[in-house]
Structure 1
Amino acid sequence: MKLIDQLGILHTFEKQPVRIISLVPSQTELLYDLGLEDNIVGITKFCVHPVHFKATKTIVGGTKNIKFDKIKALQPDIIICNKEENTKEIVDELNTICPVWVTDILTIEDNLQMIHDFGQLFNKRTDAQKWIDKINFAYQDFQQFIKDKSIKKAAYFIWAKPHMVAGNHTFINELLKLNHFENIYEVKEGRYPEVELKKIRLEGDPDYVFLSSEPFPFTDEHAFEIGRFTHHAKTVFVDGEMFSWYGSRLLKAFDYFKKLHAKI
């Protein structure tokens, strides 16, 4: 079996990979939703869905700080990584253990391709196609929902001290655009640039400031601090998983976005 991952790397498998280690939380959830629970032998400490995996699977570290000895001992057939979540150095070292499949998700189309690829990789073609069909249906429905809504300017914060935002070439930015939010930091250099709060009005004067639930735990104090530098912007706490998790999570995200629009 020969398949090409999203970095364009050709992988040749003499047999179907059975023992899987996933180093990406959203992709762990997708693998579970494709019916591969029994095949998953290792996950990261950030793989919180499904909840029971913390008790039933071996935790091999974080996404950028992994325990190679633990991974090697699990004798995986394949390790699932992501270009953003895992460094090239980690991937290179993991390649000495077994094949490493790297995803690269910037668009909804990339997401659907990943699901299709996993269906091919793990002989779950029917399950993968069901998820693709469900996501496509919900995607088309949401496009109808959003088409008449006016475009508003937004800033999406992912970190404080230093303050960091989602910029261009990110899945978050793609979903902001889908929701008719113009990301004021899309033009700024870097995918997750640092920003100065005192310049927020000069750099775009957003209608909404979104504070993500992950990776930083924003509080009311942070909202108040950022609010001091905005003019008319409404500060909204949002579920970071819905804006940044790809895979099967996207299906739930469309319903979440409808509720978000109703709230704001």
Structure 2
Amino acid sequence: MEREFIDHLNRKVTLNDLPQRIISLCPAITETLFALRAGDRIVGRTRYCIFPEDRVKQVPIVGGTKEMDLDKIRALKPDLIVMEKEENTAEMVAALEKDFPVYVAEVQSIPDAYRLIQSLGGLTGRDAEAAQLIEEIRTSFQTLPKRTGQRVAYVIWKNPYMTVGKDTYIESVLKQLGFSVPFTEMEGRYPAVTEADFQQANLDFIFLASEPFPFREKHLAEFQKICPETKVICVEGEMFWYGARMKIAADYFENLMITLLEESKNEKS
């Protein structure tokens, strides 16, 4: 039975039936499909699709998020390809939609993430599972402790320094946690910033994400030198993925906030 969907970019996507051969070109989407009990229908993924670790390794790799092996994708005969506007390129979408149904998501906020889960549930016939996952995430996020307007820069890259800016899922999460996010007035969603920008931003915290640039403990001193009065910590970038990881991330965020609160109390005493 033919089914029609409108994706997040207002494109019409027509499926002949429930998809049985899905290719996911976005790591967060791949993990979410498994969480919705549709993982056994995934026949292709990117090399960056690493969760769930115990099951995803069995799925063939068809490239990365910015490049793909079109011949390998054709050989897998997908009846649905799921992509994300930021993760993948417009050129990839254009090449694939000539031959396959392509559903493109766009996630820039927590509400967008809920919409993605709902959309994946509809596409795969897992509406009930999607509704349950959304409710579990929503409940866990509502009870998280919050900061009161403290300013945090979430750094994702080095040489040049790049931070999270406006209209991003991570910005939405940080605001949900009660933080104020600087650099949102700058051009682009992930603006390049200078040492002077950090120094002038009056930051309470600098979060160094473990991905896409692999920030580690060894980088703390570099940023502490730039902003001596700012608390600099490393955070797990994967916990700032949208989709199914949000459920796991809630506990991580709670522990992070408690740690920051305790350290703040110790510094004052």
Aligned to 1:239: 236
Distance 2:12 2:58 in 1: 32
Aligned to 2:247: 251
In structure 1, runs of 5+ residues without a counterpart are none
Equivalent residues in 2 for 1:25-64 (5 A)?
25-64=27-66
Q: After TM superposition, where is structure 1 displaced by more than 4 Å over at least 4 residues in a row? A: none
CA offsets per residue over residues 68-93 of structure 1, 9 Å max, x none?
A: 11111100001110010001011110
Distance 2:173 2:195 in 1: 23
Q: Verify the 8 A CA contact 1:20 1:80 in the aligned structure 2.
A: yes
Aligned to 1:263: 259
Aligned to 2:214: 217
Cα RMSD of the aligned pairs, angstroms, is 1.3
CA offsets per residue over residues 77-110 of structure 1, 9 Å max, x none?
A: 0111001000101111011220110101112111
Aligned to 1:99: 101
Equivalent residues in 2 for 1:1-264 (5 A)?
1-142=3-144, 145-146=145-146, 149-202=147-200, 204-243=201-240, 245-264=241-260
Q: Percent identity?
A: 39
Quick one: structure 1 residues 219 and 137, their matched pair in 2 at CA, closer, same or farther if it must change by over 3 Å? closer
Shift of 1:53: 4.0
Q: Verify the 8 A CA contact 2:109 2:170 in the aligned structure 1.
A: no
Shift of 1:10: 1.5
Q: Verify the 8 A CA contact 2:205 2:230 in the aligned structure 1.
A: yes
Give the partner amino acid of 1:223: L
Shift of 1:62: 0.6
Shift of 1:54: 5.0
Distance 1:34 1:54 in 2: 14
In structure 2, runs of 5+ residues without a counterpart are 261-269
Distance 1:33 1:114 in 2: 13
Give the partner amino acid of 1:66: M
Shift of 1:222: 2.3
| TM-score of the aligned structures, taking structure 1 as reference length | 0.94
Give the partner amino acid of 1:247: G
Quick one: structure 1 residues 53 and 71, their matched pair in 2 at CA, closer, same or farther if it must change by over 3 Å? farther
Q: Verify the 8 A CA contact 1:201 1:231 in the aligned structure 2.
A: no
Distance 2:158 2:225 in 1: 15
| TM-score of the aligned structures, taking structure 2 as reference length | 0.92
Partner of 1:156, secondary structure, is strand
Partner of 1:182, secondary structure, is coil
Shift of 1:136: 1.9
Distance 2:118 2:192 in 1: 35
Give the partner amino acid of 2:106: D
Shift of 1:247: 0.6
